[in-house]
Structure formats: structure tokens, C-alpha cells
Amino acid sequence: MTHDGSEASDGPGDILYRVSPSRGAGSPEVVGFYEPDTGSCQYICIDTPTRKCVLIDVVQQFDPRSFSTRFDHAGWALKYVRERGLEIEWILDTHPHADHLMAAAWLKQQTGAPTAIGEKVRDIAVLWRDIYNLPDAFPVEPDFDRLLTDGDNFRIGDVSVAVMLSPGHTLGSITYVAGDAIFAHDTLMQPDAGTSRADFPGGSAAQLYDSIAAILDHPDDHRVFIGHDYGTADRHAPEWKSTVGEQKARNIHVGGNVSKAAYIAKREARDRTLPLPDRMLAALQVNLRGGQLPEPEADGHSYFKIPANRF
């Protein structure tokens, strides 16, 4: 296991992870680990001196052919935390993901640590109650321990964390700024890949542009950790770390002071070519419940409700 920023793997399925070391007091160590089926980037954010940490956007794996679930990556994260002697203070998500299931509820069961997400998940739930025709579903508050608002602050040990509302990809996405580490989720991608889509229910390319501008208003040396990477035609290995300065200079969608109008035109044209994520219609009814499957029926099994011809 390395802690110098080099690539390593361990645990089920040779899980790929990399460590971004702390830069000193108030700067967290960040362990990023990669889920290849959905290209998801997951994080353990650590205040090394106090051994406090949080988990961010950890995946519950889901097979869209069999509708079976498992927790290899979440289990790997817990193993890593135990081996390092860390204490989990929060289980965090940045938004109700459309392309993977959240592991938050399972992680809470295993650890007792509280869960949190942005408060506007309430508004996202309203949209999806209509799509699923489930008017009484997704009450939100019972399934998350804290609903975070724009401007909220908390700590990971001695590391200060600020919460930013970052709508666009969804109407309720939030960004965590932990010292000099920005967890920018599905806003930015790596500079050679651009930005994330904005065509899901409640999404907006205009809002996404403004959210990215606010993220990139931080100092150039702040580290940026993204939510997904799929590689490019020229880069096959996954990456998930850059800096604000690199994003401003080289991001193929917003780098070099691209205008808002030009960005919206490019983003919306690109989004019209993208297929629906194959997990989306299953994922939202789980993620709006904090990662819990639908309530079991009389036979003890959970069943998904999937709308036909809505997309």
C-alpha cells in the first residue's frame, strides 16, 4: 500500500486506487478508488493527524441484467479504513446519482456513521415521484441524517469543509471543499474530457456553467477530484485528480475563458447524442432512499418499478 501518490491496487477485483498526500495542516489526504463498470470515482478524505475521515460517493454495485447488487467497493473502503486505524465521521454523497447505486445506507449499517447529502434532494424527489408514479415515495428526511445547504460548514478532524450548491448536472448537486481538496463530482471531468452532462430531469447546461465557474474561482493549486472518468481516445487509464489551474487552462469545454453561450451550445449538442445510463431508472428509486432497495414485499424480496416510454 503506497501513500506517495503512486498507483496501487488491493482487495476484491484488484480495486484501483491512488493516494493524493496531504500538503500540510488543514490539507487532507485523499484516497481515490475506481469502479470500472460505471467509471465512478470514489473517495476517502482523511485528516491524517487526527485519523478522522469521511467517505464520498461510494458505489453499491448493480448488475443491470440480473438486478443483483453487491458491496465490493464499499467493503474495500471499510477494510482500508480499518487497516489505517481511521474513524469515519460522515458518509457523504454529492447528489442522487443516475448511473450507479449509492452504498450510503449499507455503510451506515456497518459503521454507525451518519449520512448526508444536499437539501435540494427534496426537489429531485418531487420530480421522480412523478416519473415513477409513486406520489408517497422518497420522503428523504428519514433516509439521510443531514441535508446540507449552500454555505454549510463542518470539519473532518482539523480540516474545514465548506458546502457549495452546484446545480446543473442535477438541480441539487453539491460540492465539498475540504481544505485544498475540491470534490467536484459530476460537474467537471478531467481536462481532456471536458464536463458532465446536463440533460437529466432538473438539469441545466446554463446552471452547470455557473457552478463550474464558482468551483474554478478557487486558487489554482487546489486539487479537483471528479465523479467519473471514462478515459479518452488518447488516454485509456482512468484518472480523477487535477488542479483548478489545469482545469482553467486545459479543459476542452470551459478552459481558456469559453463564453457561457458557447458552452451551453456545445454541452446541449453533446447531450443530445448521449444514451440514457443503463442503471438510471433503477438507481434513482434506490438513491432517493439513501441507497436502500425498495421496501421488501410479502415474499421478502424487493422489486423495482420501471416506467415505460418516459425517456
C-alpha distances (whole Å) from 30 to each of 18, 60, 67, 183, 260 are 8, 20, 32, 10, 32
Strand positions, DSSP E, the chain: 7-10, 15-20, 29-35, 40-47, 52-56, 59-63, 68-70, 87-92, 101-102, 115-118, 146-148, 153-156, 159-165, 174-178, 181-185, 223-226, 241-243
Assess whether pLDDT exceeds 80 at residue 101. yes
Query: pTM for this one?
Result: 0.95
Assess whether pLDDT exceeds 90 at residue 9. no
Assess whether pLDDT exceeds 80 at residue 178. yes
Using a 10 angstrom Cβ sphere, with 0-12 exposed, 13-18 middle and 19 or more buried, the burial of residue 101 is buried
If pLDDT is split at 50, 70 and 90, which confidence band does 222 have?
very high
Mean pLDDT of the chain: 95
What is the DSSP code string of 227-292?
SB----SS--S---EEEHHHHHHH-TTTTTT--HHHHHHHHHHHHTTPPPPTTHHHHHHHHTTTTP
Assess whether pLDDT exceeds 50 at residue 79. yes
Assess whether pLDDT exceeds 90 at residue 10. no
What is the widest separation between alpha-carbon atoms in the chain? 58
Question: Across residues 121-127, what is the average pLDDT?
Answer: 97
Contact 75, 12 (CB under 8 A): yes
Assess whether pLDDT exceeds 50 at residue 278. yes
The grid coordinates listed for 126 are 418531487
Assess whether pLDDT exceeds 80 at residue 66. yes
Domain boundaries, the chain: 7-285
Question: Across residues 232-250, what is the average pLDDT?
Answer: 96
Best CA proximity match to 163, nearest among 150, 178, 180: 150
Q: Up-side HSE of residue 211: CA atoms within 13 Å toward CB?
A: 32
Best CA proximity match to 261, nearest among 191, 201, 210, 195: 210
* Predicted confidence (pLDDT) per residue in 261-273, tens digit: 999 999 999 999 9
Res 221: pLDDT: 98
* Predicted confidence (pLDDT) per residue in 134-148, tens digit: 999 999 999 999 999
Contact 32, 55 (CB under 8 A): no
End-to-end Cα separation, the chain, in angstroms: 44
If pLDDT is split at 50, 70 and 90, which confidence band does 6 have?
very low
If pLDDT is split at 50, 70 and 90, which confidence band does 1 have?
very low
Assess whether pLDDT exceeds 70 at residue 20. yes
Three-state DSSP at 76 gives helix
**DSSP single-letter state for residue 80:** H
* Predicted confidence (pLDDT) per residue in 190-215, tens digit: 999 999 999 999 999 999 999 999 99
Distance between CA atoms of 216 and 276, rounded to whole angstroms? Answer: 28
Res 14: pLDDT: 86
Question: Across residues 77-99, what is the average pLDDT?
Answer: 97
Res 2: pLDDT: 37
Domain covering 7-285 in this structure, CATH number: 3.60.15.10
Res 13: pLDDT: 54
Three-state DSSP at 79 gives helix
Q: What percent of the chain has pLDDT over 90?
A: 95
Distance between CA atoms of 178 and 188, rounded to whole angstroms? Answer: 17
